Amino acid sequence: LCSQDLAGKKVLITAGPTREYLDPIRFISNRSSGKMGYAIAEEAYKRGAQVTVVSGPVSINTYADIEIIHVQTASQMYQKVKEIYEQYDILIFSAAVADYRPKTTNETKIKKENTDELVIELIKNPDILKFVGENKKPGQIIVGFSAETENVLENSQKKLEEKNADLIVANNVLEEGAGFDVDTNIVTLISKEKVENLPKMSKSEVAKRIFDHVVTYLCKM
Ligand code: PMT
């Protein structure tokens, strides 16, 4: 219960959704509440780590000793992570980062008087986890998430490989009691060595399982 097995470790977590603005008041986003990411942050903190969360807009309060860096867009999250990631030992990417953003953001409110049809062009956002995976520093442990609605195992194993992660936490976000905006999750922990299906449990319990896994890695290093 009181084990401090992450004492002296620095943990960076991305959490929550991003907002991709069309104009000053409208954006494209998703249903992420930040619950999963903040549960991971709190578990790391309880185990003695120094914790930073790069967080999209969420309404969660946490311990004062957990550093929260607030961002809104995927580009801002990417810039922030790029700037600081080298200082961290364990990096966990639980944020639901928008894959696309509007190609242009209007500086003023888009007016409906101008047209009956509005076409929004989208362009791809940078992949934060992929960048860190490709530029991983010796000794760093990288944990990615995988939100899928079909072919969960195959798609998630592909992410483990393509994003150069040490562990992927896969969730089927169509399952009841899993994924977005609920207090529980149903995850599969996927590493090169094994695939472990976990039953439905609280997001805090999922966070514990993730760090139990990470700690066994640390011991082997
Ligand atoms: O916030 P909650 O309401 O608690 O919900 C939790 C959750 C469903 C958001 C969480 O469990 C989860 O699955 N997070 C990952 C969501 C996601 O974007 O998955 P993905 O399969 O699209 O992305 C794969 C990985 O790449 C993720 O680690 C993601 O953070 C990362 N990524 C994706 C795109 C991008 N541009 N940059 C990234 O870093």
Q: How far away, in angstroms, is 99 Cα from ligand 1 center?
A: 10
- Among candidate residues 81, 57, 78, 72, the one with its CA nearest the CA of residue 21: 72
Question: How many whole angstroms from its chain centre is CA 135?
Answer: 18
Predicted pLDDT of residue 115: 87
How far is residue 205's CA from residue 66's CA, in Å, rounded to a whole number?
Answer: 19
Cα distance between residue 164 and residue 131, in whole Å: 9
Fold topology of 10-112+119-220: Rossmann fold (3.40.50)
The per-residue pLDDT for 1 is 46
Confirm whether residue 145 is marked as ligand binding: yes
For residue 112, how far is its CA from the centre of ligand 1 (angstroms)?
33
Can you name the residues that pair with 23 across neighbouring β-strands?
26
Question: Which pTM does this prediction carry?
Answer: 0.97
- Ligand 1, residues at Cβ distance < 6 Å: 14, 16, 32-36, 74, 93-97, 99, 125, 127-129, 144-147, 159, 171, 173, 179-181
Q: Report the 10 Å Cβ neighbour count for 140.
A: 17
pLDDT of residue 2: 53
Query: Is there a catalytic annotation at residue 30?
Result: yes
Candidates 12, 20, 32: which one to mutate for ligand 1, based on the most atoms within 8 Å of Cβ? 32
Contact 73, 21 (CB under 8 A): yes
pLDDT tens track, the chain, 221 positions: 457 999 999 999 999 999 999 999 999 999 999 999 999 999 999 999 999 999 999 999 999 999 999 999 999 999 999 999 999 999 999 999 999 999 999 999 999 987 899 999 999 999 999 999 999 999 999 999 999 999 999 999 999 999 999 999 999 999 999 999 999 999 999 999 999 999 999 999 999 999 999 999 888 88
pLDDT in tens, 4-31: 999 999 999 999 999 999 999 999 999 9
What is the reported pLDDT for 204?
A: 98
For residues 13 and 180, give the distance between their C-alpha atoms in angstroms, rounded to a whole number: 17
Atom of ligand 1 nearest to the CA of 170: 13
Distance 116 CA to ligand 1 centre (A): 34
State the complex-level ipTM: 0.99
